[in-house]
A and B are shown apart, each in its own frame.
Chain A
Amino acid sequence: MQQGLFSCMAQAELIPHLFRTEFRKITAVLCKVFGIEHLEVAEDIASETFLSAMETWTYKGIPENPTAWLYLVAKNKAKNYFQRNHLFAAKIASQVKYTASGSEEPDIDLSDKNITDSQLQMIFAICHPGISKEAQIGLALRILCGFGITEIANAFLTNKEIINKRLFRAKEKLREEKVQMEFPGKTEIKKRLDTVLTTLYLLFNEGYYSESQDVVLREDFCLEAMRLTYLLLENPSTNTPEVNALFALMCFHASRFEARRNENGEIILYQDQDESRWNETLIAKGAWFLHEASGGEKLSRYHLEATIAYWNTQKQDTPEKWESILQLYNRLLQICYSPVAALNRTYALAKANGKEVAIAEAEKLQLTDNHYYFVLLGELYTDIDNTRAVTHLQKALLLAKTEADKRTIQKKMARLEAV
């Protein structure tokens, strides 16, 4: 009785866990056999495999090697599908590259090596320049990371229907663009890797900066983005300085997971964080990969952002720190403008060259639809012209969207009014 209860509990946690780790592997391998134009078939077979596991394991208990069980069932389901659907088989047979000679059935290879290769190829297929960034991220979350539609919808603060539609359109696009599951050639890899890195970077940011309340899920997004980036690092032809720089950036950011939320799950701003809660191991890892990234000739945005992130792990204010951050932002903005970088650069300018200089530069930015712009102006005018500081914070309050942002601004205003 007791044992039954235990296995029941274990199963309740085991299947979601296995779903997260194995769904994407089975899907990637099947896609490689069928071609990515049949992504839905691969997904369906992978889903059915988990449905079978749920049914069978409930009655018969968890098998000794659950992963091997899943692979075997997935293989059989794929073979059955192949036999049942002659039309599909006829269409595929001519294209299937991995058909064992003499047999009409595809050989489904679920070895570690083929799983890794298939997942790498899947990354390149999904991060195809012909597909919109939004769709790439949706597909990556679903196909490469194995997140549920509800989870994805939660993260994007939208509903399941919208996500389903988005994924449907993205899969159509994969077919239209005749995207292949293959590793790009040596000459093409550089260009394609750019798109892949942008998507992984956005995937990480989706988790790191999402306004969704589900903190655990958001961190999972970040960890998945890191796992996929690491997959690129493990392959010699994609282990480039840029990929190392991106991974370093992710490590530095991830080191603050613990410190950036309080017990209610609310975000704690950088300057208010308790640095003893920063993860030293991840900081050290970031430094190691940043060092690895220094080999190339090209200084990418990831190099610059990772180095800025490195300086941000040094909490102590020194002139050297802020001068370095300022110069890094100066360079970053030249190769990759973003309003956030422009605002952060101006903050660093205030720290390095003084508030008066920074105010003059801030006034030129005119990012008047961005509440952070007015938060920055409020910050810069504090102690110089407090009345003006309050006026700017009032504007910020009107533009702020989330409750957490509003609370932060109100706290700043209260502090100013108490002076």
Chain B
Amino acid sequence: MEEFMLIFRHEDGTKVASPEQIQVWMKQTMDWIGGIAAQNKFVEGNGLPFADSRVVHHNNVVTNGPFGEIKETIGGYIIVKAESVEEAVEFAKGSPVLQGDGNTVEVRKVDRH
């Protein structure tokens, strides 16, 4: 069994969702993760909120947040157990992040050695 990180990329991190939308999205995310955990394939996960984010550049130049210069932002990740990258991709397909046009889930194998 390998471990894969599913990285949620949002096309436009500056978009603000309504509280109702956030609630729906939270439930969908929890149900999605719960479904993976019910198969004993969930390892860990974290949301990466946009507040209190900085980018440290070459020569230690610090800018506010990852927004503006780059269009894409990372909204969070989870790590799953899977037999193959194909199985991890099947998990990723269920992510509610993909309901947003232009959003992506990047699937990367975790090197534990």
Spell out A's residues near B (CB within 8 Å). Answer: 323, 326-327, 329-331, 333-334, 337, 341-342, 345-346, 349, 353, 361, 364-365
Interface of chain B: mostly helix, strand, loop or mixed: helix
Nearest 7 pairs of A and B residues by beta carbon? A330-B34, A333-B37, A342-B38, A337-B40, A334-B37, A330-B30, A345-B38
B42 at the interface (CB under 8 A from A): yes
Residue in B31, B39, B40, B42 whose beta carbon sits within 8 Å of that of A326 in the complex: B31
> B68 in the interface, Cβ–Cβ < 8 Å?
no
Contact A365–B38 (Cβ < 8 Å):
yes
Q: B102 in the interface, Cβ–Cβ < 8 Å?
A: no
Query: Cβ of B39 and Cβ of A364 under 8 Å apart?
Result: yes
A333 to B38: give the CA distance in the assembly, Å.
6
Q: How large is the interface on B (under 10, 10 to 19, 20 to 34, 35 or more residues)?
A: 10 to 19
Q: List 22 A-B contacts (CB under 8 A).
A: A326-B34, A329-B34, A329-B38, A330-B34, A331-B34, A333-B34, A333-B38, A334-B33, A334-B45, A337-B37, A337-B40, A337-B42, A342-B38, A342-B39, A342-B40, A349-B34, A353-B31, A361-B38, A364-B35, A364-B38, A364-B39, A365-B39
Q: Give Cα A364–Cα B38 distance, bound, in whole angstroms.
A: 9
Contact between A330 and B37 (Cβ–Cβ < 8 Å)? yes
**Pair B42/A334 contact, Cβ less than 8 Å:** yes
Which residues of A sit under 8 angstroms from B37, Cβ to Cβ?
330, 333-334, 337
**Mask: chain B, 28-61; 1 = CB below 8 Å from A; 0 = not:** 0011011101111010010000000000000000
User: Contacts of A337 on B, CB cut-off 8 Å?
Assistant: 37-38, 40, 42
- Residues from chain A with a CB closer than 8 A to the CB of B27 are 323, 327
A-contacting residues of B (Cβ < 8 Å)?
A: 27, 30-31, 33-35, 37-40, 42, 45
Closest CB-CB distance, B1 to chain A, in whole Å?
14
**Further contacts, 14 of them, CB under 8 A, given A323-B27, A326-B31, A342-B40:** A327-B34, A329-B34, A330-B30, A330-B33, A333-B42, A334-B33, A334-B34, A334-B42, A334-B45, A337-B38, A337-B42, A353-B31, A364-B38, A365-B39
CA distance A341 to B34 in the complex (A): 11
Using Cβ atoms and an 8 Å threshold, which residues of chain A touch B34?
326-327, 329-331, 333-334, 345, 349
Contact partners of B31 in chain A: CB under 8 A: 326, 330, 349, 353
Give min CB distance, A357 to chain B, whole Å.
8
Given known pairs A334-B42, A337-B40, A342-B40, the reply for A361 and B35 (CB within 8 Å) is yes
Given the complex, which residues of A lie within 8 Å of B33, measured CB to CB? Answer: 330, 334
Using Cβ atoms and an 8 Å threshold, which residues of chain B touch A353?
31
A362 and chain B: residue at smallest CB distance = B38
How far apart are B28's CB and chain A's nearest CB, in angstroms?
10
Instruction: Please name the residue on chain B nearest to A338 by beta carbon.
Output: B40
Contacts of A345 in B (CB 8 A): 34, 38
User: From A360, which residue of chain B is reached at the shortest CB distance?
Assistant: B35
Residues of B near A364 (CB, < 8 A) are 35, 38-39
For the complex formed, measure the closest distance between the CB of B15 and the CB atoms of chain A, giving whole angstroms. Answer: 25
> In the complex, A334 Cα to B78 Cα: how many Å?
11
CB distance from B16 to the nearest CB of A (A): 24
CB distance from A37 to the nearest CB of B (A): 40
> How far does the Cβ of B31 sit from chain A's closest Cβ, in whole Å?
7
Chain A residue contacts of B42, Cβ below 8 A: 333-334, 337
Q: How far is the CA of A364 from the CA of B35 in the complex (A)?
A: 9
A345 CA / B35 CA spacing, docked (Å): 9
By a CB distance below 8 angstroms, the chain A residues around B35 are: 361, 364
Query: In whole angstroms, what is the CA distance A365 to B34 when docked?
Result: 12
How far, in whole Å, are A330 and B33 apart by their CA atoms in the complex? 7
Contacts of A327 in B (CB 8 A): 27, 30, 34
How many angstroms between the C-alpha atoms of A331 and B34 in the bound complex?
Answer: 7
**B81 smallest CB distance to A (angstroms):** 11
Chain B positions within 8 Å of A365 at CB level: 38-39
Bound complex: CA A329 to CA B37 (Å): 10
C-alpha spacing A327/B27, complex, angstroms? 8
With A and B bound together, what is the CA distance between A102 and B34 in angstroms?
Answer: 65
A18 to B31, CA, bound (A): 52
- Docked complex Cα distance between A144 and B42 (Å): 37
Complex CA distance for A334 and B37, rounded to whole angstroms: 5
